[in-house]
Amino acid sequence: MSLNLFPAPHETIHGVAQDIASKRRSCVDVLEQCLAKIDEWEPRARAWVSLDRDGARKTAEERDRELAGGKHYGPLHGIPIGIKDIIDIAGLPTACGSALMAKTVAVKDAAVVTRLREAGAIILGKTVTTQFASFDPPVTRNPWNLDRTPGGSSSGSAAATATGMCLGAIGSQTGGSITRPASFCGVAGCKPTWGRVSTRGVFPLAPSMDHVGPIARNVRDMAILLDAIAGFDSGDLLSSNVPAPKLYAMLEQPASIPRLGILRGDFEDRAEPATRDATRTAVAALKAAGAHVTDARLPIPLDEILKRHRIVMATESASFHEERLRQHPDDYSPHIRTLVEEGLNVSAAEYIRCRRHQTQLSHDISVAFGDCDVLVCPSTVGPAPEASSTGNPSFNSPWSYTGLPTITIPIALDGGLPLGLQFIAHRFDEGVLFRVAAWCEATLRNDRK
């Protein structure tokens, strides 16, 4: 049972979608392949909280009937998708990693689930999250090495996608919870611009930094997923009405040579040697292929950003968990409990100062781009650590704090564990982000052949 950083077309949403549209494969066959992978991997990887096998089979049969009758939803027609277990699916519990919430059945779908269904996807079930999407280790294991963490908090979404138990999944990020697990599990992940994807029906951690986004096997697959879930939601007060680009169609157009700003300073100093070497090798390959490469730096020290990010996350999480923590202290794991208790001790004045800082930095960071299309840095400080940790989110938190969109792609292995490269774009510039990431992904794959 081996995994591959660069999957064959029959393992990707894009490739399977073409097979389904041309009727070379049925939706039922695709689903059964994923269920077989679940039977093969789940006893060890433990990526799922709940599976709706019967519901998924019924939907797959319906999608096949619709296709036979001439109705085709698009590239997600009949594609099995996993949903992180802080996101509501009608009829299934939203446990959020909590024993007490394990019987709390959702009455209706979250906005992102509704949009996936409307795009023809098959909702396979709920993937494991760390408790309340925080830092406590999950039951899920990294499929590349079962003694290592898959990352958090979108642990099950990344592990299930990496093993083919689903063809893509939805995760969330407030610190590094999409990027880190995607990188550790050797798949691609996208944290969209804050407000680009509705969080209605998603259990909050820190609303000013909560993002929902896709995890998939490559950039093109993520474009398909983000096309489906992005866009204004009048039922979500935090949703943006900035029009979402049609990413999948954009990737069919010829790509221009990108301009990359390589983040230096803390992003080099804190990276482990293998990560630093892999990043330099990848950047050298991109430059040799024609990319314009310049140095870039953040306008303030990384430590200052991480400190402020932590204060905002702690304070906002405390506003949701304060009363529940008092009533059910035994239901809280150590890290989320510590986070909430920190937040309860933050003054209103300090929180407001951090929110002002957050807004100002979101504006000032545009200076770091210069004339570059995207900024580039390692996705994580190193490969997946042992399973008692979810890994270090320091290379991800700045972008959650400022709301900038990011993509991570796998680039190399270190001791059999994946390493990723992260791209960061201007707010609401997912069109540029996806074009650049897709060009770099194709270039690096060709370079490794």
Residue 184 maps to which CATH number?
Answer: 3.90.1300.10
Clarify whether residues 48 and 193 are in a common domain: yes
Q: Is the pLDDT confidence value at 175 over 80?
A: yes
> Does residue 404 form part of some domain?
no
- Residue-level pLDDT at 255: 85
Same domain for 357 and 216: no
Residue 150 maps to a domain: yes
Are residues 222 and 163 part of one domain?
yes
* Burial classification of residue 56, based on how many CB atoms lie within 10 Å of its CB (0-12 exposed, 13-18 middle, 19 or more buried): buried
**Domain annotation covers residue 395:** no
Of 364, 380, 409, which residue constitutes the final position of a domain? 364
Whether residue 267 lies inside any domain: the answer is no
Same domain, 169 and 34: yes
250's tokens: 């954009």
Residues 187 and 329 in one domain: no
User: Which of 314, 348, 364 is a domain's end point?
Assistant: 364
Same domain, 33 and 138: yes
pLDDT higher than 60, residue 1: no
Are 335 and 234 in a shared domain?
Answer: no
Strand pairing report for 259-263 and 292-296: parallel
Report yes or no on whether pTM surpasses 0.85: yes
Q: Give residue 42's pLDDT.
A: 98
- Indicate if the pLDDT at residue 267 is higher than 90: yes
Asked if residue 51 and residue 181 are part of one domain, the reply reads yes
Is the same domain home to 237 and 311?
A: no
Which pLDDT belongs to residue 358?
A: 98
Tell me the pLDDT tens digit for each residue of 77-117: 999 999 999 999 999 999 999 999 999 999 999 999 999 99
Coil, strand or helix: which one is 372?
coil
- Amino acid 113 reads V
In percent, how much of the chain has pLDDT > 70? 100
Inform me whether the pLDDT recorded for 411 exceeds 60: yes
Residue 287 domain flag: no
- Looking at 163-262, list the stretches that DSSP marks H as alpha helix, in order from N- to C-terminal side: 179-184, 219-229, 247-250
Q: Are 399 and 424 in contact (CB under 8 A)?
A: yes
Count of domains observed in the chain: 2
Contacts of 269 (CB under 8 A, 6+ apart): none
Q: Is 219 in the same domain as 80?
A: yes
Domain ends where: 332, 347, 364? 364
d(CA 325, CA 91) in angstroms, rounded, equals 26
Task: Cite the active site residues.
Answer: 84, 153, 177
In a domain, 159, yes or no: yes
Domain of 40 in residue numbering reads as 9-257+425-448
| Mean pLDDT (whole number) for 332-357 | 98
Same domain? 130 vs 204: yes
With 80 as the cut, is the pLDDT of residue 310 above it? yes
Mean pLDDT of all residues belonging to the chain: 97
Q: Give the pLDDT band (50/70/90) at residue 292.
A: very high
Query: 444 and 339 share a domain?
Result: no
Q: Report yes or no on 98 lying in a domain.
A: yes
Instruction: Tell me if 264 is assigned to some domain.
Output: no
d(Cα 220, Cα 13) in Å, to the nearest integer? 8
SS3 137: coil
What is the identity of the amino acid at 78? G
Q: pLDDT by residue (tens digit) across 345-368? A: 999 999 999 999 999 999 999 899
